[in-house]
Structure 1
Amino acid sequence: MQTKALGTVDEIGNTVQQVGKQTSGQKTSGGNPAIDSDPYSPSSVSARIEAGKVRSDLQIKDILSNTTQRSKTKGPAVQYDKVGDYNDALNDFNSLNVRNVQTRPNGTITGNLPDGRAVNVRNDSSGGEPTLEITISNNRKIKIRYGNTR
């Protein structure tokens, strides 16, 4: 299965439909039902990860729809401003269906998206704003800063 960068909400929706078509009724072992029904077979795991990534990307795009992008910073993170407070950041965090949720001693809440990418929410940042941080890839992150608009 080929992975590509996702663009518009329509493109993401089409990708979700394609993943569903590609994985429905798919045989992984030449028709051996004992293996084909294995949820841990490589093709089953790959399809679930891809479907989870698409769903996560849709949820992230929904969260970003009410933000304003900040000017480029020196780091690899893309930063956005969103009107709201820590409770709004927590609501957005919870809307991502985060798994393996843990609260760190400093109060940061961490977890993983269904496809394994890391996400965290914290009440404070270097600028003092509540922040939702989503890892997009190894060196790319999205940081959403909550507060009054700049």
Structure 2
Amino acid sequence: MVSMLKWKIPVYILAGISVVALWLFTLFLGQTFFTTWTERGQFGDLFGSVNALFSGLAFVALIYTIHLQRQELSLQRTELELQRKEMAASRGELAAQVAVQKSQVRATIAQIRVAAVEARIEATKLTGSGRDSLTNIYSEAEKIEAIANELENG
């Protein structure tokens, strides 16, 4: 079914237009059917209760708006609390990642030390002969073992 209106007009705008149109209609009605000011005054007094009704409705709408704002603020507080918890969990994860990265750095440094000691061992093998070179090789092997123990302990 094709809609008669191409635009969707908000309800509050339609209500406002209706109130203004009704007000203009009563003005026209008062001018047309009541010729004296006394009659017009009595006709106007008929709408005193309508004024009270609209004032009461406006007050109820205000209270309802405050209620909706309180609900929205409560939801925002809940959301902020969840965000704080999530951020705390993220900080914990980041701290764990930092610890892992530090241990990786220590392991890399140890690998570099081991490679340097192995290079010295190979250099000693190539250049030296006899008991001194064997002592140097054992000494370097002990250094490698000390590095391994250091990594294992901590």
- Higher relative CO (CA 8 A, sep ≥ 6), structure 1 or 2? 1
Q: What's the TM-score, normalizing by structure 2?
A: 0.27
- Larger Cα-atom Rg: 2
Q: What's the TM-score, normalizing by structure 1?
A: 0.27
More helix by percentage: 2
More strand by percentage: 1
